[in-house]
């Protein structure tokens, strides 16, 4: 009998350990691999390893949304999402041959998902409808989400409201996050790039790398760079070169051309 290979992509280490333990308890014969919970590291792992039979994928990863990972990887694995989204909004998953695990994950819930996987693995229905299901899932996972429109900036003598539409890019330096306006002025923010990646409209902002999130309206030019990276020029210019990794280059070009 074939040994089932399972993989978990989860950015919270305790959650990953708990899920691994429960899977091993329910299916001791399975091989379970935990992959670092970031988009870039997950893409790298899938490029270097044989795809698992089943993938447990967290919707929110440490450096972005799991759909960025799905954009880059031609996924052959059966897919079960793990998520903290409201259960009622996700009921549509249940009628479309793919499952989700609502955090905190219970053993009974996991057992049901595994049984569903085992039934589907002997049919072709999953592969036939996977693309349609992923599109449906993405629309459910981000239902008319409201994105951040302003920041309250505290100064020594007053507070000002900084509008997101006036921001060219965000960057992180020495663990401090800054917003840079089109006028070239820097404002420190009491947040992180990881949080901003989830709060900003993805149609307007793209996380180029771990240090910077750039607005599409600030980009003036892109050009090839070393090792299949992309160099990005902005107005106002950033004090360092802005590069997009080769793993994110495809997503970046599609974002620009949408």
Tell me the DSSP string of 77-97. SEEEEEE-S-TGGGGGGGGTT
Angle of helix 246-256 relative to helix 39-48, nearest 10 degrees, comes to 120
pLDDT at position 99: 76
Q: Write out pLDDT tens, residues 172-216.
A: 999 899 999 999 999 999 999 999 998 999 999 999 999 999 999
- Quote the pTM value: 0.52
Q: Write out pLDDT tens, residues 24-37.
A: 999 999 999 999 88
CATH architecture of the domain with range 150-256: Beta Barrel (2.40)
Element (H, E) at 163: strand 159-163
Widest pairwise Cα distance in the chain: 72
Helices then strands, counting H and E runs in the chain, come out as 7, 17
pLDDT at position 122: 65
pLDDT at position 92: 41
Does 236 have pLDDT greater than 90?
A: yes
- The DSSP secondary structure of 47-74, one letter per residue, reads HHSPPPSEEEEESEETTEEHHHHHHHS-
| Domain 5-141, CATH class in plain words | alpha beta
- Using DSSP's 3-state secondary structure scheme, residue 212 falls into strand
Residues 6+ apart with CB under 8 A from 130: 75, 79, 98
Q: Write out pLDDT tens, residues 92-101.
A: 454 344 677 8
Residue ranges covered by each domain of the chain? 5-141, 150-256
pLDDT at position 144: 57
Confidence of residue 158 (pLDDT cuts 50, 70, 90): confident
pLDDT at position 94: 46
Quick one: which of 117, 137, 114 has its CA closest to 125? 117
């Amino acid at each position: 009998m074939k040994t089932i290979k399972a993989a978990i992509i989860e950015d919270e280490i305790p959650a990953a350990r708990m899920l691994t333990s429960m899977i091993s308890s329910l299916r001791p014969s399975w091989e379970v691999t935990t992959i670092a919970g970031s988009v870039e590291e997950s893409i790298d792992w899938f490029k270097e390893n044989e795809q698992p039979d089943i993938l447990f994928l967290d919707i929110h990863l440490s450096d972005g949304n799991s759909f960025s990972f799905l954009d880059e990887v031609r996924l052959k694995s059966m897919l079960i999402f793990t998520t903290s989204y409201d259960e009622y909004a996700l009921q549509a998953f249940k009628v479309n041959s793919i499952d989700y695990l609502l955090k905190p994950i219970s053993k009974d819930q996991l057992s049901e998902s595994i049984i569903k996987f085992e039934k589907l693995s002997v049919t072709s229905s999953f592969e036939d409808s996977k693309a349609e299901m992923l599109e449906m899932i993405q629309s459910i996972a981000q239902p008319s989400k409201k994105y951040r429109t302003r920041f309250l900036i505290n100064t020594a003598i007053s507070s000002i409201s900084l509008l997101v539409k006036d921001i060219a890019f965000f960057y992180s330096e020495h663990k401090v996050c800054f917003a840079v306006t089109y006028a070239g002025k820097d404002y420190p923010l009491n947040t992180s790039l990881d949080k901003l990646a989830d709060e900003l409209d993805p149609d307007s902002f793209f996380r180029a790398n771990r240090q910077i999130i750039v607005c599409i309206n600030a980009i003036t030019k892109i050009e090839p760079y070393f090792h299949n990276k992309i160099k990005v020029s902005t107005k106002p210019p950033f004090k360092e070169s802005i590069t997009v990794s080769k793993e994110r280059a495809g997503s970046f070009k599609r974002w620009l051309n949408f």
